[in-house]
Amino acid sequence: MLERIGRYRVTRKLGEGGMGVVYAAHDERLERPVALKMIREASTDDKARERLWREARAAASVSHPNICQLFEIAEEDGELFIAMELLEGESLAERLGRGPLKVAEAAQTALAMLAALEALHRRELVHRDLKPSNVFLTPHGIKLLDFGLARPFQQEAGDASLTQTGILIGTPRYLAPEQILGRPVDERGDLFAAGAILFEMLSGRPAFDGTAVMEVLSAVLHEQPAVLGGSAAIAALDRVIHRALAKQPERRYASAAAMADDLRRTMALGDTAETPRAHPITRLMVLPLRILRSDPETDFLAYSLPDAVTSSLSGLDSLIVRSSMTAAAFASDTQDLESLAGKADVDAVLTGTLLRAGDQLRVNTQLAEVPGGAVLWSQTSQVPLGDVFKLQDELTRRIVESLALPLSARDRGVLGRDVPATAKAYECYLRANQLGTEARHWTVARDLYLQCLAEDPGYAPAWARLGRIHRVIGTYLDADGRESKAKAEEAFKRALELNPELSVAHNLYTYLEVEMGRAQPAVLRLLERAKRRTADAELFAGLVQACRYAGLLEASVAAYETAVRVEPGIRTSVAHSYFMLGQYQRAIETEVADPPEVAGLALVMLGREAEALERLRSTEQSLLPRSGALHDALIARRTLLEGKRSECLIATHRLLEKSTLRDPCGLFYMGRHLVYLGDLDRGLELLLASIEGGFCCHSFATRDPWLDPIRARPEFRDYLSRSAARYGEAVKAFLEAGGDRVLGVSPAVTA
């Protein structure tokens, strides 16, 4: 071992790696302990020399208590070295070797790490090699080390992660996808690494693992870490982690400060002494079958059979099944499994073909792992046309067996329930499911569900789907609607009597409940299920809607974040929640309604009226037929922006006559619209009707500038008083039901 390096007396070796060595030494001039870092190749390798100089410049340019202090860079006998602060303690990597950290310790470490990154990013530098071994735990806090790979923001693509010889620079499991792909990198690349480290601190295992480098890189590009379960704080931390680990940089936090703010909020939830539980869950997509020869009598099975398999499996705790709507978007004659794995975020895909041969149905299916494409099994099944349920049951069983899913007693019960009594009942059910996706076929679908239930009155899924059809007919087609909604209520209750665990019934029932003024009971019912069904994306999508109607906007957004973490492509109404929170750009980004309901309003609130008007005109031109409530709504919004007040009022009042506005949320929107137009009395009437109908939006109503003309009116003060009371009741019930623990948010007691 060396005895001296310049004026430094070496006391011991601290560590050694492939590229260099670090010594503890004593600075005899300033009488202080230091650490000396030397790179072996620095004397002969220009790249190694440049890396050492880069580290010195980066560290010297930033002064922060959580960044290791650099004293000098010097040369001794032709070899460069850095003299820096000598730290006491251990690296985070060493600490993790003894197991995971408690929630409070992990969150505190992450906050200090983010503070250091924020200081680095203010200098427009990206660390690019953040990992547990570069995070040092001292008795006085953490210190960030090793800035050898630090670069300015937005390096040119191709120069960010690879050397000229194609060697990956950085530790693979902590690299952001854009680093691996050689694309430009900014501060969000470091935040990805911070998310991966936070997950590892909490779970005790890497977020992205594998036995070989290529396996790790594939996991970073295509997979998501396991869900963390436990207390309210852990649920909130899990959302922070998954946002930081988004594959696309634009879906991550915009800054270290923003991520730190969310972390602080999670720590305020308490329960930080607990250690999280990690739940690895398989993610499956069942694609529509490809029809080999069209046949009008059986073509409906191409969609309906995979949909039935999806529904059967969606109740299992150890499996996430992408919805049939999501799967339909990936249907194609040629499947690119690698692309599908990345876009749909799944581990396995079931594909197949459908062919009618006389009175037989031949279905060839295969289950493949993705993105690799390894076939787990392939089979050809042939059944009589009247025995389709046998085929569904066989496919469901083989999927469970081949994926080696750990089935609980509850899971076995789920798979063993809801068997149709006759082949005719099941065929009617499948046909109705297919037709029920389009409004022009709703009444036909209703009649088919009724035929199914005439054959088998005990088939719970058919009651649930019939409830949904009665609801949409009552909302959008009937002149009155009350009779259809009463029938919907009866159908949902019958479904839940037959099978209290039927997810589709719980999820679909939510939309009827909120429209009928029962948002709070819906929230409580869904929360109770969410405590046990943490991977049911549709359940959390229902909570998005129910929480919004109850005025719990932050909880609505939290439910959305959980839902999209489980199923990225799921459709929700969260754009309304963002709009009412005043986050107008997020409302535009998350709008999924076709045509859009919120984007135009959000653009107006952002002062982008011309853009909003252009969108409305384009949508109105594409909408056929030009009649009905939807067309009137577009005319009302367009003429409002064009300044044509009289035309706008005519369209608005015509719209008020339509049955669709029995929805109390619709009444609220129309109320604020009329107030803005100057029809104050009618606007107030609708606002009061909306709160009477069960829609509470107290926080938005208190600050919405469109409602300014009526703020002094006693009727509006009455509205605010009633909405405040309703909101307070909802918060109390939410907290008593453990909603803060389920969703990781604690709503303000007063809005």
Nearest Cα to 201, choosing from 97, 116, 90? 97
Residue 599 lies in a domain: no
Nearest Cα to 665, choosing from 684, 683, 686? 686
Q: What is the mean pLDDT of residues 352-362?
A: 91
- Which CATH number covers residue 115? 1.10.510.10
How does pLDDT run across 525-570, given as a tens digit for each residue?
999 988 877 778 888 999 999 999 999 999 999 999 888 877 777 8
Residue 112 lies in a domain: yes
DSSP letter string, 678-698? T-HHHHHHHHHHHHHTT---H
DSSP 173: G
Is residue 680 pLDDT above 90, yes or no? yes
* Same domain as 315, residue 405: yes
Is residue 167 pLDDT above 60, yes or no? no
Residues 228, 241 contacting (CB under 8 angstroms): yes
- Which CATH number covers residue 11? 3.30.200.20
Residue type, 671: G
Residue 572 lies in a domain: no
Among 279, 312, 341, the domain-final residue is 279
Maximum alpha-carbon separation in the chain: 96
Q: What is the mean pLDDT of residues 368-389?
A: 84
Is residue 648 pLDDT above 90, yes or no? no
- Local confidence band at 55 (pLDDT 50, 70, 90 cut-offs): low
How does pLDDT run across 116-160, given as a tens digit for each residue?
999 989 888 888 889 999 999 999 899 998 765 556 665 444 444
- Local confidence band at 163 (pLDDT 50, 70, 90 cut-offs): very low
Q: State residue 703's pLDDT score.
A: 94
Residue 149 lies in a domain: yes
* Same domain as 467, residue 385: yes
pLDDT higher for 223 or 220? 220
Strand extents, DSSP E, 28-157:
32-39, 70-76, 79-85, 90-91, 125-126, 135-138, 141-144, 151-152
- Sign of dihedral through CA atoms 573, 574, 580, 584? negative
How does pLDDT run across 59-117, given as a tens digit for each residue?
677 788 998 888 887 877 777 788 888 989 999 999 999 999 988 899 999 999 999 99
Q: State residue 270's pLDDT score.
A: 64
* Same domain as 370, residue 275: no
**Rounded to an integer, what is the distance from CA 226 to the centroid of its chain?**
14
- Local confidence band at 230 (pLDDT 50, 70, 90 cut-offs): low
Is residue 421 pLDDT above 80, yes or no? yes
Neighbours of 226 (CB within 10 A): 17
Is residue 624 pLDDT above 70, yes or no? no
* Same domain as 322, residue 451: yes
Tell me whether residue 485 is annotated as binding. no
How does pLDDT run across 472-515, given as a tens digit for each residue?
898 877 767 889 999 999 999 999 999 988 888 998 999 999 99
* Same domain as 293, residue 334: yes
Pick the most confident of 252-266, 409-423, 630-644, 715-729. 715-729
Give SS3 for 423: helix
Q: What is the mean pLDDT of residues 391-407?
A: 85
Give SS3 for 273: coil
Q: State residue 158's pLDDT score.
A: 41
* Same domain as 154, residue 75: no
Give SS3 for 229: strand
Question: How many domains is the chain partitioned into structurally?
Answer: 3
Among 225, 251, 279, the domain-final residue is 279
* Same domain as 198, residue 299: no
* Same domain as 298, residue 203: no
Residue 694 lies in a domain: no
Q: What is the pTM of this model?
A: 0.73
Residue 644 lies in a domain: no
- Provide the b/e sequence for 622-643 (b: ≥16 CB within 10 Å): eeeeeeebbbbbbbbbbbbbee
* Same domain as 257, residue 290: no
* Same domain as 242, residue 118: yes
CA separation (Å) from 574 to 3, 133, 520, 542, 557? Answer: 65, 40, 17, 10, 6
Rg (CA), the chain: 30
* Same domain as 243, residue 151: yes
DSSP letter string, 444-490? HHHHHHHHHHHH-TT-HHHHHHHHHHHHHHHHHT-SS-HHHHHHHHH
pLDDT higher for 252 or 1? 252
- Local confidence band at 11 (pLDDT 50, 70, 90 cut-offs): very high
* Same domain as 258, residue 217: yes
Residues 85, 69 contacting (CB under 8 angstroms): yes
Mean pLDDT of the chain: 85
- Local confidence band at 623 (pLDDT 50, 70, 90 cut-offs): low
Residues 6+ apart with CB under 8 A from 273: 102, 103, 104
Among 479, 497, 515, the domain-final residue is 497
Domain that holds residue 447: 282-497
Q: State residue 166's pLDDT score.
A: 41
Q: What is the mean pLDDT of residues 270-275?
A: 61
Residue 714 lies in a domain: no
The pair of three-digit structure tokens given for residue 748, joined into one six-digit string: 């303000």
Q: State residue 18's pLDDT score.
A: 55
- Which CATH number covers residue 328? 3.40.50.11830
Task: Please give the angle made by the CA atoms of 581, 533 and 548, to the nearest 5 degrees.
Answer: 20
Residue 553 lies in a domain: no
Pairwise CA distance, residues 177 & 182, whole Å: 9
Q: State residue 170's pLDDT score.
A: 56
